[in-house]
Amino acid sequence: GAGVSQSPSNKVTEKGKDVELRCDPISGHTALYWYRQSLGQGLEFLIYFQGNSAPDKSGLPSDRFSAERTGGSVSTLTIQRTQQEDSAVYLCASSFRTSGSVGELFFGEGSRLTVL
C-alpha cells in the first residue's frame, strides 16, 4: 500500500492474555519504529529497527514487550500477559534512513489496545 498499515485497528483483550500487533511499513523504507501513545503521556518510544542492525530496544517498558521484524519489512509487536496499564494506542512509523539523515517518519493510524 501507499502508507504504513497497522492491524488490528482496535483490540480488546482480557488482563493476562497475550496480544500481537502488526505493522506493514512503506515499501523500501529501511527504518521502522514503534511508539506508544497514552492519554496525557505523549508518544513514548518503544523500539527501533534499522536495516539488518540489532534493534534499539531501549524504550521497551518491561520484558513482557518484544518485537521482531521479518525480512526487513513487516514487524510484529507482542505484549505478553497484558496488564491494564498497557492500554494505549500503539503507533508504527517507517522512514528511509541513511547514515547522514534520519528521514521523515511516516506513521500508521495506530492499533488501539484496551485491556479489561
Closer residue to other proteins, CB minimum distance, 24 or 82:
24
At 9, list the grid cell.
485497528
CA 86 to CA 23: how far, in whole Å?
Answer: 18
By CB under 8 A, name the one of 20, 22, 56, 74 that touches other proteins: 56
CA distances for 114 relative to 64, 92, 96, angstroms: 16, 17, 31
Span near other proteins by CB under 8 A; candidates 11-19, 42-50, 64-72, 73-81: 42-50
Least distance (Å) between residue 3 CB and other proteins: 8
Give yes or no for residue 116 binding other proteins (CB under 8 A). no
CA 56 to CA 1: how far, in whole Å?
Answer: 26
Give yes or no for residue 90 binding other proteins (CB under 8 A). no
Binding footprint of other proteins, residue count (CB under 8 A): 24
Span near other proteins by CB under 8 A; candidates 9-17, 20-28, 44-52, 70-78: 44-52
3-state helix, strand, coil in the chain (%, to 5): 5, 50, 45
CA 111 to CA 89: how far, in whole Å?
Answer: 5
Closer residue to other proteins, CB minimum distance, 33 or 86:
33
